[in-house]
Amino acid sequence: MPETSILSYIKRLKRGVFTTNELARFSGKSVSNASQALRFLEKQGVVSNIYRGLWIETGNESVSPYLAINFILPKHRAYVSFVSALHLYGIIEQIPQVITLASTSHTKIIKTKIAAFSIHRIAPSFFRGFGWYKGTGSFLIAEQEKALVDCLYLASRKKKAFKFFPELHFSDSFSAKKAKAWAKSIPDKKIRAFVVKKLEEMRIGRQIFK
């Protein structure tokens, strides 16, 4: 049956997150046939449609909301930053209610069945300082220093949610010098001055120790 064939292709992806178009290309089937087979599998509880043309394999323990990032903005790159990145680095303990992303796309919120993603626009010239999470190639994430500076970058735009932090726990690997260098590379003069000032206030307040 075509559904069984589609399921075998899903298993071969070894990712648990995929799009209808991707599966159609991979299986050699038409988008219409792939979509029909996926809807059948969804009725069986094997897969679940979480966003426009985006699916997850149910019961796959390796499936993480972060894996959806590469698919929800098909025309733009995005990386995990701000409070979500700080949480993943263990700098803040509180789990953010939404996954915060930096992008050159317009600021917006995308809601899927497995998570809500809050996307914040930053200047294209400042869209730097990120890499693959733990080298896995699964999703992009800001360096820990850049994540903090990205927060203050948004705070300069009167976004209060990124101005006040719960207790911060910086590891020995965090470099205040590197954070300051990122702040000084912000192209906008007013935003740059604001972020440099906030970092200095954090240093004086001994939230950042080195």
Helix 144-155 × helix 189-204 angle, to 10° = 120
Pick the more confident residue, 71 or 160.
Answer: 71
Name which CATH class applies to 66-204.
Answer: alpha beta
User: Which of the following CATH numbers is that of domain 2-63: 3.90.1150.10, 3.30.2320.30, 1.50.40.10, 1.10.10.10?
Assistant: 1.10.10.10
CATH 1.10.10.10 segments of the chain: 2-63
CATH 3.30.460 segments of the chain: 66-204
pLDDT in tens, 87-124: 999 999 988 899 999 999 999 999 999 999 999 999 99
Q: Does an H or E element contain 121, and which?
A: strand 116-121
pLDDT in tens, 39-75: 999 999 999 999 999 999 998 888 999 999 999 998 8
Pairing of strands 116-121, 99-103: parallel
